[in-house]
Structure 1
Amino acid sequence: MKRRSSISLRLTVWFSTAFVLGFLVFGVAMYLELSYSLAAGRDKTLLHRANRAVTLLTNCHVGSPLCVQRFDDFAAATPEGNLIHVFDVDGKRLYPVVQDPSDTFPWPSGVTPQDRLFSKVKYQNAIFRMLSEPVTIGTVHYRIVVGGQLNDNRVLVNQFKHGLLWTAPILLIFSAAIGFFLSTRALRPVARLIASVRLISIGNLSRRLPALHSGDELEALTETCNEMLARLETAVGQITRFTADASHELRSPISYIYTQSEYALKNLPLEEESAECFSQILRECEEATALLNDMLTLARCDSGHSGMTFTRTNLKGILDDVYLRAAPLAKSKQQSLTLEVDRHEPTWIMGDPPSLRRLFWILLDNAIKYTPIDGEISIRLRTGGSEACVDIKDNGIGIPQDALSNIFGRFYRVDRARTLAEGSGLGLSIAKWISDIHRGDLSVKSSENIGSIFQISFGTTNAG
């Protein structure tokens, strides 16, 4: 059997997955945007510093002491000013004039490139962004080289990346909780709809699902289900009426055949072969009458009219009556039939005595039919708290495990049982119906060639 998956769980998974994927896409986009913005900002800063250096050199005579002093003052006032150098067209350093002997920074050398050039340089475990800007002052060509550290940018980008990685699982948990809450809330009307549908059975098809008035698909589904229930009610009603009418109509001719055959057996001189034929007709009439009575009972069940009168009933007295009726039948098959009660005081329940007798007789009759000669059958009444439980146990042929789920179905008979006993296959259906009407719980446990135990539990009531 395929395992069912909760829609609420699937919606939660889908919502969480979509939410986290959306967050990750947004996070990656923001990560790339941040990296690009920081890099562009750094390049813009280097260009700004280079332009300021060009302006300074343009307003003074390159190489003069005044120009050197102004450049030194500019470098001192500018962040990372020590990374602003000026070279001539041959690659000779012009500014700063005095170079720090400890400066081992890999400054570019060689002929000045004709175009602006950005590059990266690694120096002492740090990454630097370098701008080589060719300029012309008058008729002389120069190259201004400006550098700046990228470590601060890298730290900021890494912090943002780590924040994304730490936030993702938190958002996953948060989105799962929100998704579960929203899906559960959205499916709450579905849960109520399922509960209402489960309360509808063949005996109360007149019941309808509550209208939602939500204006959505659930309202359409509810209306469709109610329309289907109306069609089912009509169809089942027609079948029920046909069954009841046919049963009533058939009882008269069967009664006539039975009466005439019985009269012939008792009053006419018949040969042995003819007498046996009339005897067979009587047996068939009895079985047909029993079947018609069962069909009438089920027709009343389907119509919702049980015809029962509930009174305070002594369950122990009902079992005594059924036991006395079944004892001669069990004795004829040389079977042991016992009745056990936990206490001798009356056990009171609310019920219809004739129907309860029929319920227990059906179970006992089946136990006797399907238990071999010298078999053992027991009836036990147990009481505890506000519940009374009756066990009817036998060591007969048992019921196959694959048949237990269908054993209370109408006209259902285990194949092996067909060859051992007569019957219509309606008895256990009627027993189950009587049990349900009394709000009892009828269940069965059985093993092939070991036996069966039918258990019926009822709620008890006070005797006063």
Structure 2
Amino acid sequence: MSLSPRLIALLLACLISALTLAFLTFVEGVTSTMLFVVGISSFIISFFLVFYAIELLVFREVNKMYKTIHKLKIRDFNISRKSIIKNTNPFKKLNDEIFVYVARKQKEIDELKRLELFRREFLADVSHELKTPIFAAQGFIHTLIDGAVDDEKVRDKFLAKAARSLDGLDALVKDLVALSQLETGEVRMNFERVDLTHITQDIFEQLEKFAHAKQTSLQLKSFHAGPVWVKADAQRITQVMTNLIENAVKYGNENGRVQVNFEDDKKSILVSIRDDGPGIPPEHLSRIFERFYRVEKSRSKDRGGTGLGLAIVKHILNAHKAKISVMSKVDRGTTFRFKLERMD
């Protein structure tokens, strides 16, 4: 038989009332009326006190613990830490502490699972990316070993292709090392006063032939003529700007335009790099900063690149305490934006 709070309170009230009456019978001068009143009073008071203590302080909190366990099963982790601190009920505090502890551990487990999945995907991506240039170079070299080396035209052609494959492998390894160092904090930023205008103009000169081949114009627009000074690591911010401008040219349309804008934003400089290319579909925007993520894998492969450029850009800007955002519309172009601390 299961004992409910009401039944327990009733039994204890009867016992207390009976014991009270038993003691009063030994007192001289106590009438039957007095015994009746005391018995009823002690029964009622004892019943409600015991019922309140058991129902509110024990049973209700135990039921809440069962509900907590149910919430944990369905992974509902909504609870306020303030509610634990303010509560004086020990059962309630115990219940909430258990809930918070288990919730925290569950989130840690979920994060470990996410990292494990990420690790597996990363290893698979690295293996795939390394395999392509290695197999290509291996094929060209084995063809030469098998006799094609005697033909000068074939030899020069295959050696050039093998060299390109190995160059791509070298670039991939360098990007992997750079990304790893950025993520682990091994690379320290050397912040100084940097002129963004000068950096951008140098990049335009470096990419002039590449842009000319695609008949793409490179434009710089600034809120004022002359230097635009920011607090940044010159080498790393040059790497960011080069990557974004080169990507804008690479993935933009033929006869297109790439525009770099500097806007005054009080204590910051807002930098935007815009192209008028085919744009990025909405479903890809949230993932383009992931390692090896490519919007169009086949076309990206044809155009070169390691697939790590935007991931490196994001980490460098994070080290500058800046966030990069992207806005894009299909057939309307893409714009990357970030802010840097201004230094006049």
| Superposed pair shares fold, TM > 0.5 | yes
**Alignment partner, residue 451 of structure 1:** 333
Normalised by the length of structure 2, the TM-score is: 0.59
User: Compared with structure 1, are the counterparts of its residues 221 and 401 closer, same or farther at alpha carbon in structure 2 (3 Å cutoff)?
Assistant: closer
Give secondary structure in 2 for the equivalent of 1:407: coil
**Alignment partner, residue 394 of structure 1:** 275
Q: Which structure's residues are more often strand, by fraction?
A: 1
User: Compared with structure 1, are the counterparts of its residues 272 and 455 closer, same or farther at alpha carbon in structure 2 (3 Å cutoff)?
Assistant: same
**Alignment partner, residue 44 of structure 2:** none
**Deviation per residue, 1:137-178 (Å, 9 max, x gap):** xxxxxxxxxxxxxxxxxxxxxxxxxxxxxxxxxxxxxxxxxx
Give the letter aligned to residue 286 of structure 1: D
Give the letter aligned to residue 355 of structure 1: R
Give secondary structure in 2 for the equivalent of 1:406: coil
State the percentage of identical aligned residues. Answer: 26
Give the letter aligned to residue 189 of structure 1: R
Give the letter aligned to residue 349 of structure 1: V
The structure 2 residue matched to 1:189, chosen from 81, 84, 93, is 81
Do the aligned partners of 2:326 and 2:337 also contact (CA within 8 Å) in 1? yes
Give secondary structure in 2 for the equivalent of 1:351: strand
Residue 413, structure 1, aligned to residue 297, structure 2 = no
**What CA distance in whole angstroms lies between the structure 2 residues aligned with 1:365 and 1:423?**
10
**What CA distance in whole angstroms lies between the structure 2 residues aligned with 1:429 and 1:403?**
14
**What CA distance in whole angstroms lies between the structure 1 residues aligned with 2:199 and 2:81?**
45
Shift of 1:234: 10
User: Compared with structure 1, are the counterparts of its residues 227 and 361 closer, same or farther at alpha carbon in structure 2 (3 Å cutoff)?
Assistant: same
Shift of 1:232: 7.8
**Alignment partner, residue 84 of structure 1:** none
Q: What does 1:6-405 correspond to in 2, within 5 Å?
A: 187-189=79-81, 215-223=97-105, 225=107, 271-405=152-286
**Alignment partner, residue 426 of structure 1:** 308
**What CA distance in whole angstroms lies between the structure 1 residues aligned with 2:290 and 2:299?**
15
Give secondary structure in 2 for the equivalent of 1:396: coil
Do the aligned partners of 1:370 and 1:420 also contact (CA within 8 Å) in 2? no
**Alignment partner, residue 4 of structure 2:** none
Shift of 1:188: 3.1
Asked which structure has the greater CA Rg, the reply is 1
Residue 435, structure 1, aligned to residue 317, structure 2 = yes
Normalised by the length of structure 1, the TM-score is: 0.45
Do the aligned partners of 1:441 and 1:458 also contact (CA within 8 Å) in 2? no
Q: Which structure's residues are more often helix, by fraction?
A: 2
Do the aligned partners of 1:323 and 1:339 also contact (CA within 8 Å) in 2? no
**What CA distance in whole angstroms lies between the structure 1 residues aligned with 2:114 and 2:325?**
28
Give secondary structure in 1 for the equivalent of 2:80: helix
Shift of 1:364: 1.0
Shift of 1:454: 1.3
**Alignment partner, residue 27 of structure 2:** none
* Structure 2: tracts of 5 or more residues without a match: 1-77, 84-93
Give the letter aligned to residue 376 of structure 1: R
- Higher RCO (CA-CA < 8 Å; seq separation 6+): 2
* Structure 1: tracts of 5 or more residues without a match: 1-185, 192-211
Do the aligned partners of 1:411 and 1:426 also contact (CA within 8 Å) in 2? yes
**What CA distance in whole angstroms lies between the structure 2 residues aligned with 1:401 and 1:233?**
24
Give the letter aligned to residue 194 of structure 2: T
Shift of 1:385: 0.9
User: Compared with structure 1, are the counterparts of its residues 373 and 228 closer, same or farther at alpha carbon in structure 2 (3 Å cutoff)?
Assistant: closer
> What is the alpha-carbon root mean square deviation over aligned residues?
3.9
Give the letter aligned to residue 278 of structure 1: L
**What CA distance in whole angstroms lies between the structure 1 residues aligned with 2:275 and 2:110?**
43
**What CA distance in whole angstroms lies between the structure 2 residues aligned with 1:282 and 1:190?**
63
Shift of 1:327: 2.1
**What CA distance in whole angstroms lies between the structure 2 residues aligned with 1:422 and 1:358?**
17
**What CA distance in whole angstroms lies between the structure 2 residues aligned with 1:443 and 1:279?**
39
Give the letter aligned to residue 383 of structure 1: D
Give secondary structure in 1 for the equivalent of 2:273: strand
Give the letter aligned to residue 335 of structure 2: I
